[in-house]
Amino acid sequence: MRTSMQREGRSVAGGLILWVLAVVPSTAVGSDAAVRYRRICGPCHGQRGDGLGPAAGYLPLRPRDFTRGEYKFRSTPSGSLPLDSDLARTIRRGLPGTPMPAWRGALSEEEIGDVVRVVKSFSRRFADEPAPSRLQIPRPPRFDARLVREGRRTWKLFQCASCHGPRGRGDGPSVPGLRDSDGLPIRPRDFTVGIYKGGSSPRDVYRTFMTGLDGTPMPSYMDTLADERARWALVAYVQSLGRRPSFFDWLFADPLVSRAR
């Protein structure tokens, strides 16, 4: 009798210690960040990170469901988790042309790092899987008309136009059948507008098509396009399709987009 009571007492004490160990550090380290997440990200991404916040239904595009651990903008191989620096970049710069705002200025670098930890905490993948490898982006060659011409050939060879359309307007013949991982219709961006979700610098565009956008039909070309010059040529060609935004684009642009740029 005594022994079982002792055992019970011990297991209650043990449980209490475990609870203290689990809860105290997370409130001490994470509480500010968790509260901040709920206040500024929760309305779209949901308090539980499931992408079902109260504002989500009013958006033209679904906010990411963080419980899946599936991310579009990574510097890691297709199907892998993103690096912390990838998540921080997305949060800092936002995703131009989508409702996802840029938080640079509103959040300090330290606060962005804290929010990254909150976002990761919604998916077990980050605890279960080993750290993914990072794509090394070498120095680009000189961008000139010759490189653009070479890129045009690669664009044809790899049939980017089947989805992106011959002039990159996002109107390729495959578009009506394209679906994202939720089974919802998805269309590629109009490259002539020159606004990229994943960033518009040559390195950004290189990263996007090398790693692919998980959860969308946009594949990774890491293995199929091995020639370094051909990769940069493709970047040069994609960028050559863009035009500078006009006064009217600026006037009628989504304020979230202009803030993100």
Residues within the interface to ligand HEC (CB under 6 A): 40-41, 43-45, 55, 59, 61, 63-64, 71-73, 87, 90-91, 95, 98-101, 103, 115, 119, 158, 160, 162-164, 174, 178, 186, 188-189, 196-198, 205, 208-209, 213, 216-218, 221, 234, 238
Give whichever of 6 and 159 is closer to ligand HEC, judged by the CB atom. Answer: 159
The SS3 assignment for 182 reads coil
Give whichever of 73 and 232 is closer to ligand HEC, judged by the CB atom. Answer: 73
Q: How far apart are CA 171 and CA 167, in angstroms?
A: 9
Quote the least distance from Cβ 161 to ligand HEC, whole Å.
8
Contacts 24+ apart (CB under 8 A), 256-260: 256/94, 256/99, 256/100, 256/101, 256/102, 257/96, 257/97, 257/195, 259/94, 259/101, 259/102, 260/93, 260/94, 260/95, 260/96, 260/100, 260/101, 260/102
Give whichever of 15 and 173 is closer to ligand HEC, judged by the CB atom. Answer: 173
What is the signed CA dihedral for 113, 118, 124, 127, rounded to 10 degrees? 40
Give whichever of 72 and 147 is closer to ligand HEC, judged by the CB atom. Answer: 72
* Burial environment of residue 10 by CB neighbours within 10 A (0 to 12, 13 to 18, 19 or more): exposed
Give whichever of 9 and 185 is closer to ligand HEC, judged by the CB atom. Answer: 185
Quote the least distance from Cβ 211 to ligand HEC, whole Å.
10
Quote the least distance from Cβ 28 to ligand HEC, whole Å.
21
How far out from the chain centre does Cα 174 lie? 24
Quote the least distance from Cβ 217 to ligand HEC, whole Å.
4
Quote the least distance from Cβ 142 to ligand HEC, whole Å.
20
CB contact at 8 A, 176 and 151? no
Quote the least distance from Cβ 196 to ligand HEC, whole Å.
3
Scan for tokens 């705002």, then name that residue.
101
Give whichever of 13 and 184 is closer to ligand HEC, judged by the CB atom. Answer: 184
Structure tokens, 114: 């804290």
Q: How far apart are CA 69 and CA 125, in angstroms?
A: 6
Quote the least distance from Cβ 4 to ligand HEC, whole Å.
49
Give whichever of 3 and 57 is closer to ligand HEC, judged by the CB atom. Answer: 57
The SS3 assignment for 7 reads helix
First to last CA, the chain: 71
